[in-house]
Structure 1
Amino acid sequence: MPKRKAAIAVGGVAALGAAALLLPNANASQDKNQASGTTGTVKTLKATQASNLAAQLQKSLGDAFAGSYFDSGKQQLVVNVVGGDNNTMAQAKKAGAVVRQVKNSTRALKAAAGTLKTKATIPGTSWAVDPRTDKILVTADSTVTGARWNRLQSTVQSLGSGMATLKKSAGTFKTFVSGGDAIFSQTQQGGVRCSLGFNVTASDGSPAFLTAGHCGVAAKDWSDSQNGQPIATVDQAKFPGNDFSLVKYNDPNTQAPSEVNAGNGQTVQITQAADATVGETVFRMGSTTGLHNGQVTGLDATVNFQSETNPGGTDTVNGLIQTNVCAEAGDSGGSLFTQDGSAVGLTSGGSGDCTNGGETFFQPVTAALQATGATLGNGGNGGNAGNGGNAGNGGADNNGNGAGDQSGSAAPSASAGDQSGAGDQSGGSADPSASAGDQSGNGSGDQSGNGAGTGNQSGNGAGAGDQSGSGNDQSGAGTANDGSSLTSSR
């Protein structure tokens, strides 16, 4: 039996020939707060090195450790210390970190987060620790009004001065499952589209990939083309609580390269999994909006999504990475990574879009790998299908603002634009179990869904797929990422 190459575009980046080209618009802003500490022993670090050093200091400093962040402008790790004596400060400085004394301990911040969980688990809210301010950042989306807003505001105030900040988001927190073109499934409610995160090897040695948990809960069998035959089956799916799925390729000989399709025929090799560090620059690849970048703004975030499977209920996800990278419907499950080829997260959900910006939350890859027993790298007997490895001729190549023009297919085996059902879409819901972004195609490309939707997508059989309108009010005009270069659009 001939070996089959994984016919799905993976969210990744090349080891950094391609990623270096992603950076012209990716300069992260420097922290304006001046951290104290001697400069003689401060080390210049890459983000991954900073993350490793932070983990070491967290263990060695114990209760004195109160969080850390990466100053990307100076390429230094800043460590918060509370109640530390001179020996503690000296220990952190000797290790190469900039040290600053802060008021709130990790224990106090966690206790405050616990109060928020008990008193303010309201759909449309989130909170995460921001070590740059030594506070909890609490965010409410546009649906949190009236009595709910008053309840949230009073809870934040009850935490005491200097413990938390509260802000409003213009958008609505939702999972980004609809409208993508990377991986497809059919349910009773219609079609579901998501984005593949990272290829992995399952604990039994079989080739598999990671994607969002709400995608795996929504559908069990996944294809690499619209209305195509399933090529992979969900093995594990966790949502809510967590948001990851392990999906095994049906053909054990599938060659699943550990790389991300960065668009325009270029890929980035994914060599390791890494924990996120606040302040570091990260890139997100998704099948709807392509490549975008931004910064990690918080860790251990809790997000309360409005549940569409349980009217009036809440789907709460914990332990997420908070960023200011944009995303839209269909980007769910897509990869979050660093320029050195480290896998960091899987797109979960958020608010806003890639025209106006917003917050996006990601399931940490390290937690997903630990829970599933999978490892990053090539699965199957074929090893790395290293043929230059474009895992999709145009799957990440989107013309238009977010929803815009999509040319090509995420599946190399289907060839660029070989999508018979990528046609007209109307409607779609952000709910993974209620046809979120769901399109029920009839083969001619005519599809209809229900709910807030991703607008219309008309295909011409060559994958030109003009999309206009979306649940985020995208007209499809203009060019967000046309794939002609690897410059990431923020």
Structure 2
Amino acid sequence: MNTIPSLRRAAAVATTAILAVAGLAVPSAASARPAADTSSAPAGITRQAASALVERLGADRTGGAWLDRSGRMVVAVTDAAAEQAVVGAGGIAQRVTRSTAELNAINATLGQQIAMPGVAFGVDSINNKLFIDADTTVSTEDYQRLVELAASHDGAVTVRRMRGELKPFIQGGRFITPNRGSEIGSCSVGFNVRKKDNPNSLYMITAGHCTVGASGVSDWYDGIGQYVGYDAGGNFPGNDFGLIKHNNASLSKPGNVWISEGVVRDVTHSRDAGLGETVCHSGWKTGYRCGEVLARNTTANYREGRVTGLDYTSFCAAGGDSGGSVFHGDAALGLVSGGIPEDCRTYVQPLNEALAWYDVEVY
């Protein structure tokens, strides 16, 4: 654990409670991304144009949109007329069997059928399926129930046994803790933020299970024992974001992300991550890592409760990275929530939802 000369870094925030969580379902690590059908279209279109096409064609005729490995947007469609509409707009169309409406309906059914901890599930638009993943805490009997449940959906759902136990990643970025002088229960700070109606009012945003887990704790410290600020709220379970108020004038609080000693990444705005997009994270435990967004709007049944609306990514993270920054270029995207380190799969709380909740913004 290193100290932080400024909170411009992806700092760490601590909690007094270590949350043990059961495994989530994620799209299979071995699932291959289908190749885009490029025979009928030249280059791609922008993410905004793809979103507009999907909205115009509707959820019954489309199956999602994502970046392929060459960086082009692909729009999944279910019929020839929709395919021609995408190609006519200059886009790349891929024919699929199941529409977004069908996938979302199955996902809603799974939400009613799956309550056990250690399991996660969601829509894998790139493979035109849904996934259910179970961690090592799920019993053999319960795993078989999941297999039977998936079979009842006529090949639309895959089930996979993960190699480890899914946990929220307590500890963190470039760290601070309520346990002064201790790493116990620490987490990563995601981003420095400011109140929209008062730009001089500065905060740190991090994972909600960090601030909520530190029940009764109000003061937070950095890695060398300096006072940083105090708890200003948390939302977990349901969501996974929390806020800490900056309250030490002697600490600089620039709005960038720490990458490594002497290297930072400036952040200028926030947005949602795109399916298939390459994203990176910074945390004090594993440092700077990158991967892909494999699925969005996934559900994680933590032992402490269900969290919905998470992005599912392929970058590696571990205990100590919770709350850490997730970003692409100068865009702030999310906060590390948890994952299964053995499978190098990490769940991310989208940042814009958290910013809107607290009426704050990155700077």
1:351 equivalenced with 2:349 (yes/no): no
1:200–1:256: 8 Å Cα contact kept in structure 2?
A: no
Paired residues for 1:320-335 under 5 Å? 320-335=310-325
Give the drift of 1:37: 5.5
Give the drift of 1:192: 2.7
Distance 1:32 1:113, change over 3 A: closer
1:207–1:249: 8 Å Cα contact kept in structure 2?
A: yes
Partner of 2:17 in structure 1? none
Give the drift of 1:281: 1.4
Q: Distance in 1 between matches of 2:278 and 2:190?
A: 18
Paired residues for 1:55-204 under 5 Å? 55-63=51-59, 64-72=61-69, 74-82=70-78, 84=79, 86=81, 88-161=82-155, 163-178=156-171, 182-186=175-179, 191-204=184-197
Q: Distance in 2 between matches of 1:115 and 1:201?
A: 39
Give the drift of 1:350: 0.6
SS of 1:196's equivalent in the other structure is strand
Paired residues for 1:448-463 under 5 Å? none
- Which amino acid letter does the alignment assign opposite residue 311 of structure 2? I
Work out which of the two has the higher radius of gyration on C-alpha atoms and give 1 or 2. 1
Q: Distance in 2 between matches of 1:90 and 1:62?
A: 15
Give the drift of 1:103: 1.7
Give the drift of 1:236: 2.8
Runs of 5+ in structure 1 lacking a partner?
12-28, 308-314, 378-490
Distance 1:30 1:172, change over 3 A: closer
Runs of 5+ in structure 2 lacking a partner?
12-30
Give the drift of 1:97: 2.4
1:209 equivalenced with 2:193 (yes/no): no
Q: Larger strand proportion, structure 1 or 2?
A: 2
Identity of aligned residues (%): 32
1:250-309 C-alpha deviation (Å, 9 max, x unpaired): 2579653221111021111112212222222111111111011111111111111123xx
Give the drift of 1:39: 2.1
Q: Distance in 2 between matches of 1:261 and 1:112?
A: 40
Distance 1:172 1:109, change over 3 A: same
Partner of 2:20 in structure 1? none
Q: Distance in 2 between matches of 1:30 and 1:169?
A: 17
1:101-152 C-alpha deviation (Å, 9 max, x unpaired): 2121222212211222211221111112111111112111111122211221
SS of 2:10's equivalent in the other structure is coil
Q: Distance in 1 between matches of 2:183 and 2:324?
A: 21
2:36–2:74: 8 Å Cα contact kept in structure 1?
A: no
1:120–1:155: 8 Å Cα contact kept in structure 2?
A: no
Partner of 1:363 in structure 2? 349
Distance 1:60 1:253, change over 3 A: farther
Partner of 1:386 in structure 2? none
Partner of 1:225 in structure 2? 223
SS of 1:39's equivalent in the other structure is coil
Q: Distance in 2 between matches of 1:281 and 1:190?
A: 30
Give the drift of 1:8: 5.7
- Which amino acid letter does the alignment assign opposite residue 9 of structure 1? R
Paired residues for 1:208-357 under 5 Å? 208-219=203-214, 220-229=218-227, 231-251=228-248, 255-307=252-304, 315-338=305-328, 340-353=329-342, 357=343
* Aligned-CA RMSD value: 2.6
2:9–2:259: 8 Å Cα contact kept in structure 1?
A: no
SS of 2:170's equivalent in the other structure is coil
SS of 2:127's equivalent in the other structure is coil
Give the drift of 1:226: 4.7
Distance 1:93 1:275, change over 3 A: farther
Distance 1:247 1:30, change over 3 A: same
Q: Distance in 1 between matches of 2:36 and 2:173?
A: 42
Distance 1:55 1:199, change over 3 A: farther
Q: Distance in 1 between matches of 2:267 and 2:183?
A: 33
SS of 1:215's equivalent in the other structure is helix
Give the drift of 1:164: 1.1
Give the drift of 1:170: 0.1
Q: Distance in 1 between matches of 2:37 and 2:213?
A: 46
Distance 1:253 1:371, change over 3 A: farther
Distance 1:328 1:160, change over 3 A: same
Paired residues for 1:411-422 under 5 Å? none
SS of 2:116's equivalent in the other structure is coil
SS of 1:223's equivalent in the other structure is strand
Partner of 1:39 in structure 2? 41
- Which amino acid letter does the alignment assign opposite residue 240 of structure 2? D
- Which amino acid letter does the alignment assign opposite residue 94 of structure 2? R
- Which amino acid letter does the alignment assign opposite residue 200 of structure 1? V
2:171–2:285: 8 Å Cα contact kept in structure 1?
A: no
What is the TM-score normalised by the length of structure 1? 0.63
Q: Distance in 2 between matches of 1:221 and 1:81?
A: 52
- Which amino acid letter does the alignment assign opposite residue 228 of structure 1? Q
- Which amino acid letter does the alignment assign opposite residue 136 of structure 2? S
Q: Distance in 2 between matches of 1:147 and 1:127?
A: 18
Give the drift of 1:185: 1.2
Moved over 6 A (4+): none
Distance 1:254 1:85, change over 3 A: farther
Give the drift of 1:368: 1.4
Aligned residue pairs: how many?
333
